[in-house]
Amino acid sequence: MAWSVAAVDAAEIDRINILNASITGMQRALDGLSVRPNLILADGNRFRPYTGPDGVRIPAHCVIHGDASSAAIAAASVLAKTHRDEYMRKLAAEYPQYGWDRNMAYPTVEHREAIRHYGITPYHRRSYKLD
């Protein structure tokens, strides 16, 4: 019926933390929908109350491991991961030494070694600790 993806950049994640960034990203994606949902199913155990662009609060239900038990959450997870992987391939073209086309933002040994050798980019979170 409708879908939307949204992102939160590294600087904002550093400011608000990864949990709040995840919720913010979900809510931005909801803002981008062309259809107002009647209920929000949020993957995980935390979500903030959401009021749509039309000013109507939409009820939300958190589902721990929701991508394993809800087709809607699983579909949203696939969209988010596909969007993230596409973004990582673009970053890999700009900064090939970090292996983003292979690690898709996971802190692999190869990626950690690249950070130690080359330093961080504007796309790296500064609050993430390597050791």
Q: Tell me the C-alpha distance between 120 and 117, whole Å.
A: 9
| Residue 12 lies in domain | 1-64
Quick check: is 72 in a domain?
Answer: no
pLDDT, residue 69, reads 97
Quick check: is 129 in a domain?
Answer: no
User: Number of structural domains, the chain?
Assistant: 2
Quick check: is 34 in a domain?
Answer: yes
Q: Are residues 5 and 35 in the same domain?
A: yes
pLDDT, residue 130, reads 75
How many C-alpha atoms does 9 have within 13 Å on its Cβ side? 5
pLDDT, residue 7, reads 95
Quick check: is 101 in a domain?
Answer: yes
pLDDT, residue 98, reads 96
pTM here is 0.89
Q: Are residues 1 and 60 in the same domain?
A: yes
Quick check: is 98 in a domain?
Answer: yes
pLDDT, residue 129, reads 82
pLDDT, residue 131, reads 65
User: Could you report the average pLDDT of every consecutive run of 10 residues in the chain (131 residues)?
Assistant: 95 96 96 96 96 95 97 96 96 96 91 95 90 65
